[in-house]
Amino acid sequence: MQISQEFQKNRWKLGLVIPISLGAIAFLNLIMSLIFYFNSQAVVKTMNWVNHTNEVKVRIRSLEKFLVDAETRQRGFIFSGEEEFLESYLEGLQNQESVKIELKKMISDNPEQLQRLAQIELLIKDKVDELAMTINLKRSGKEQELRNLVLSGKGKKIMDELRVRIIEMYQVENQLLEDRQKELEQAEQFSRIATLTGTIIILGLICISIRFIQQGIIQPIERISLDITTSSSQIATTIEEQERITHQQAISVNQTTATVNQLATSSRQMATQAETTSASGNQVLSLTKEGYQAVELSVQGIATLKTNSERIVQQTQEIEKQTVEIGTISNLVSNIAMQTNLLALNAAVEAVRAGEQGKGFGVVASEIRKLADQSKHSAYQINVLVQEINHSINSTIKVTTEGTHTVNEIMQMAETTVLTFDKVSSSVNNMVLNSQQIAMNIKQQDIAIQQIVEVINTINQGAGETAAGISQTKISTQQLNQVAKILTDLM
């Protein structure tokens, strides 16, 4: 009962602490995973934008490099007149077109940069036209016009304007790169903070869960295991005492059987004496003197019969007391079996709650319940037998009382016969009839005594079975004690 109350007290801990703790940890892990996922996506996206900005800057520098290279090749051709300077120039013209196309695609999400790129394209076109014009003048041999065009500073103005526009685009991209790098750093910092915070919270939940499990599960199980060990030890002590009592009961039943057998022998002797008395009465009818002597013998025989009848009553009363004790012991066995059954049922319920570690303990509890049921059934059979014995004993007492009453009447008749021998004939006649009735009653007593012997033998056999059942229960209780100790060691 104490074990059941202990589990009722901690049932919310056993049923909720572990699922809630694990659920909270799993939920927090899920939240952390989602945060990591979305944050990593943001980091990847930001890194892509950083790479995109760097690529835009590379393309812008490519345009600037093309213009510088083109101007350098153009000057080389003007000064030397050699066409090999123009090969790289012409190749650069083709490459800068593809660079502008790629750059347009890359900054398509930025209208201001697209506008700047459009201005740069116009300036590049003017610069390329100016370079082409100087190259054509050089090829045509118009040195003076070429000199005038170069000295006019038109190409320099265009190039200065181009540098200003390119620097503007480059600065815008630098600002975008700086902003995106800040976003990347913020995302990485948020990831670190979230990781650290989540780890601290998870560790805190784990510590709280361990504390609750220690206080709500392990410690109650340790106390329950100790209670089971104590209870099983007490049960073992009670069973040993019951085994001793059952052994004493078997000895008493054996003694009672011997006494009843002696009573049966005496009853048969009484029957023989009654028959002798009847024969003597017949002889008294013919021989008065012999009849007088026979009357004296009858008186003695009746006295013996009375003594034996009183002994029968005493032995029967003794048997009745012993059967009452047997019934009390049987009820005690039944109560112990019921308590054992309740304990085994509680143990089986708690074994199921324990899960995989409690399977072996559940099997032992089931076996104890079976043994308790068998003990209860045996006690019930003993009670039935005790009731039958009491019924037989009551019948025996009734018959014996009637026999004693009859013996007293015969004694009175015998004494009257001695005092009034003149009525010997009629008195002996009555005595013969009464002797025959006594013989019949004694035979009935003999039959009843035989039945008592059979009942006592049955009781003896039942006591032996009870002792065997108690021994088996003792072994099972010892096994239960061992299991409880193992469970305590595991805790």
Domain containing residue 298? 220-490
454 and 479 co-located in one domain: yes
pTM above 0.95, yes or no: no
pLDDT of residue 199: 85
pLDDT of residue 211: 79
- The answer, yes or no, to whether residue 48 has pLDDT greater than 60, is yes
Burial of 375 (0-12, 13-18, 19+ CB in 10 A): buried
Which is more confident, 332 or 294? 332
234 and 345 co-located in one domain: yes
CB 166 within 8 Å of CB 59 = no
- The answer, yes or no, to whether residue 100 has pLDDT greater than 60, is yes
Task: Name, of 15-19, 229-233, 250-254, 419-423, the range with top average pLDDT.
Answer: 229-233
Tokens coding 20: 């809630």
User: Tens of pLDDT along 135-194?
Assistant: 878 788 788 887 887 777 777 788 888 888 888 888 888 888 888 888 888 878 887 887
**Last residue in a domain, options 214, 229, 258:** 214
Alpha helices in 81-142 (DSSP H): 84-106, 111-140
Share of the chain above pLDDT 90, in %: 0
289 and 204 co-located in one domain: no
* Cα 228 to Cα 483: distance, rounded to the nearest angstrom: 9
* Cα 17 to Cα 212: distance, rounded to the nearest angstrom: 7
**Last residue in a domain, options 214, 238, 268:** 214
* Cα 165 to Cα 172: distance, rounded to the nearest angstrom: 11
Give 15's DSSP letter: I
**DSSP string for 262-331:** HHHHHHHHHHHHHHHHHHHHHHHHH-HHHHHHHHHHHHHHHHHHHHHHHHHHHHHHHHHHHHHHHHHHHH
Dihedral sign from CA coordinates of 435, 437, 443, 445: negative
How crowded is the C-beta side of 10, counted as CA atoms within 13 Å?
22
10 and 43 co-located in one domain: yes
* Cα 149 to Cα 79: distance, rounded to the nearest angstrom: 14
257 and 333 co-located in one domain: yes
* Cα 491 to Cα 488: distance, rounded to the nearest angstrom: 5
173 and 266 co-located in one domain: no
154 and 62 co-located in one domain: yes
478 and 386 co-located in one domain: yes
**Last residue in a domain, options 182, 214, 246:** 214
Tokens coding 182: 């800040």
SS3 81: coil
* Cα 228 to Cα 3: distance, rounded to the nearest angstrom: 8
169 and 224 co-located in one domain: no
* Residue tagged 């004296």 (tokens): 296
20 and 151 co-located in one domain: yes
For residue 298, give the CATH number of its domain. 1.10.287
C-alpha 67: how far from chain center: 83
Q: If you average pLDDT over every residue of the chain, what do you get?
A: 74
User: Tens of pLDDT along 314-366?
Assistant: 877 787 787 778 778 778 877 887 888 788 778 778 777 777 777 776 777 78
- Total domains present in the chain: 2
204 and 230 co-located in one domain: no
85 and 233 co-located in one domain: no
